[in-house]
Amino acid sequence: MKTFIVTTFIGTFAGNEQNKIIMFRPFPRDPEKMAEKLKLSEMEVTQEEKSMMQELWKKGYKEFIFSVRKPGAKHVEASNLFEKFVRENLRKIAIERNVVKDQVEFNQLLTNVNIESTKVKIKKSISRDILIINANAAIEELDKSLNIFVERLREWYSNHFPEMDRIISDHEKFAKIISNFGDRKKIDVPELNPLKEKSSGIDLQEEDIRAIQLYSSKILELYKLKEDLEKYEEKILREIAPNLKELAGTSLAAKLISKAGGLDKLSRMAAS
């Protein structure tokens, strides 16, 4: 039997396919906390939802359906009938469950929660888009630094194997080959194997090779740092600007937010 889990600003509901409310866990009557819990329920399975499912599991309910896709929600049916029922009748349910005494109190509570929800969203988006701006700046600075470092690496290693500079255009791959093999005679890369024996480069001593390999390994660490920052940037964009990320891609979306000076400024520019 399907059990639907729906979270609203007054609390979390569990219901069946006949739109019968099986269980209800109200939130504390604090608009700020209500807004925070409602926002949290959009991103993860909340503690209220977890404890409700555990209790229902013991009573024989095994399949739990959420209306929002989020980590921990195994089954999702967006806009299911129970969710529609709860939202359309929420005012009546709130009065019946003694969350509020009448419609006037419900409307006042809803207004206060909406105000707090707006504050939560603004606070979250402002703090997170500032991090996007910083992360994007760090990635751009890494790009500039990597170009300088790789240019030095290419010039340095070309004394030993100049042909490789012409064949391997990808900077990261160039650094990986040096880090992995060192001396050109040890290189085992299909496009380089025919050239290494006939190279016009000079032979290097072992300590020379070690120094170049150390330098190339540090460059690879910077590439890894850049990759990690890009993943971090993508995660934040997925939280605060999922539509922009999907339309423009992670890199361009981050650049647009940075160029505008923030997500709010970017949205105002788009609307003007």
Query: Where do the domains of the chain lie?
Result: 2-104, 121-271
CA atoms within 13 A of residue 114's CA, in its CB half-sphere: 6
Give residue 243's pLDDT band: very low, low, confident or very high (50, 70, 90): confident
Q: Which long-range contacts (CB under 8 A, 24 or more apart) does 198-205 make?
A: 199/160, 199/161, 199/162, 199/163, 200/162, 200/163, 201/158, 201/159, 201/160, 201/161, 201/162, 201/163, 202/159, 202/160, 203/160, 204/159, 204/160
Q: What mean pLDDT is predicted for residues 95-116?
A: 93
Q: What mean pLDDT is predicted for residues 251-260?
A: 90
List Cβ neighbours of 110 (8 Å cut-off, separation of 6 or more): 9
pLDDT at residue 163 is higher than 70: yes
**Cα dihedral across residues 100, 101, 103, 109: positive or negative:** negative
Give residue 267's pLDDT band: very low, low, confident or very high (50, 70, 90): confident
Tokens representing residue 252 in the block: 């361009």
CA atoms within 13 A of residue 186's CA, in its CB half-sphere: 11
Q: What mean pLDDT is predicted for residues 160-166?
A: 96
Measured in Å, how far apart are the chain's first and last C-alpha atoms?
51
Strands of the 11-15 sheet, one edge to the other: 21-26, 11-15, 2-8, 63-66, 75-76
| Spatial separation of the C-alpha atoms in residues 50 and 59, rounded to whole Å | 15
| Spatial separation of the C-alpha atoms in residues 237 and 241, rounded to whole Å | 5
Q: What is the CATH number of domain 121-271?
A: 1.10.287.4070
Q: Is 169 exposed, middle or buried (0-12, 13-18, 19+ CB in 10 A)?
A: exposed
pLDDT value of position 123? 67
In what helix (H) or strand (E) does residue 115 lie, and over which residues does it extend?
helix 103-158
| Spatial separation of the C-alpha atoms in residues 177 and 191, rounded to whole Å | 12
pLDDT value of position 84? 95
pLDDT in tens, 115-160: 988 877 766 656 678 889 999 999 999 999 999 999 999 999 999 9
pLDDT value of position 64? 95
pLDDT value of position 125? 58
pLDDT at residue 271 is higher than 80: no
pLDDT at residue 14 is higher than 80: yes
Q: What mean pLDDT is predicted for residues 168-183?
A: 97
Q: How many residues does the chain have?
A: 272
pLDDT value of position 118? 82
Number of Cβ within 10 Å of residue 116's Cβ equals: 20
Q: Which CATH architecture has domain 2-104?
A: 2-Layer Sandwich (3.30)
pLDDT in tens, 24-38: 999 999 999 999 899
Q: What mean pLDDT is predicted for residues 72-83?
A: 90
